[in-house]
Amino acid sequence: MISEQRSFGEPGTTSTSPPHEPSLTKLVAGIIDDVQELLKAQMELFQAEVKEDVRQTKEASALLIAGALVLLLGGIFLGLMLVHLLSWAFPQLPLWGSFAIVGAIMFVAGLVLFVLGQQKFASFNPLPDKSVAALKEAFNGRFRSHQTADGGKT
């Protein structure tokens, strides 16, 4: 293996042209281009994550709204009917006892739906943590690689 000694302008040695080093403006332009590409990719990832989070939020909201509607409408319309039905079916049961039984049943049904909705909301984070972390990591990595290519000078 022959090693070639590279020196510039010394007499009696092989002269080769210096390696092409990009200028500062080219390095800055490269950094700007890389940042633009990175931001574009991160925005696409961010949009995809937001779409998924919106879908999950809609599902959880539907459960919460369903629970609220059951508590409201079921408690008013069916509750009054069931109270009077119990009072008619069991004449020895006082009216307030009928209200207590029907109210307890409606309360438990609404509570179950509400807890299901809360669990659905707790199962995901609405913030795009993956995109933010990837953006920070990629930006820091690109910045460091351009610093080393420039010899630490910016």
Give tens-digit pLDDT for 31-86.
898 888 888 888 888 888 888 888 889 999 999 999 888 878 876 887 899 899 99
Q: Which of 109, 127, 126 is nearest to 60 (CA)?
A: 126
Question: For the residues 10-20, what does the mean pLDDT come to?
Answer: 54
Q: What is the pTM of this model?
A: 0.40
Torsion, Cα of 144, 148, 151, 154 (10° steps): -20
Count CB neighbours of 149 within 10 A: 13
Count CB neighbours of 113 within 10 A: 19
For residue 106, what is the enclosing H or E element?
helix 95-122
Indicate the average pLDDT of the chain: 79
Q: What is the pLDDT of residue 94?
A: 93
Helix (H, G, I), strand (E, B) or coil at 7: strand
For the chain, give the percent of residues with pLDDT over 90.
Answer: 19
Distances, alpha carbon 26 to alpha carbons 29, 89, 138, 150, in Å: 5, 89, 20, 10
Distance CA 142, CA 154 (A): 13
